[in-house]
Amino acid sequence: MPRKTSRTASKPQSNPRRWSQEVTARSDALDLERGVFTSDDPRRIAQSLKRSAERSRRRKATPFHSAMSMLNLYINRAGRTLPARKRRVLERAKLELRIVFNRVN
């Protein structure tokens, strides 16, 4: 009796940590400042993202949407491995990003 094969071709598994790195480097993402997400100051993160979004030639959306998308990508890709303290800083950076772009309701 022949073995059943899956319908999709099997491809070698790449390192999952490299996926988000490649998205950041090669997509129409922002040209981020080095170490932007390592800061403990939400306002500094927001201002850096704003600068990057306004200077970037690779973005397709508005600067605000590009900056918020990059911040959300970072938070979502970190998932459960993101420490609670760092998650609070990054969530606060979202609010600061709205403030620096004058998008507060």
Spell out the domain ranges in the chain. 36-100
pTM: 0.72
How far apart are the C-alpha atoms of 4 and 46, rounded to whole Å? 52
How far apart are the C-alpha atoms of 76 and 14, rounded to whole Å? 19
Per-residue pLDDT of the chain (105 residues; tens, 9 = 90+): 666 655 555 555 555 556 666 665 666 667 788 888 889 999 999 999 999 899 888 778 899 999 999 899 889 988 889 999 999 999 999 999 999 999 887
SS3 content of the chain, % helix, strand, coil (to 5): 60, 0, 40
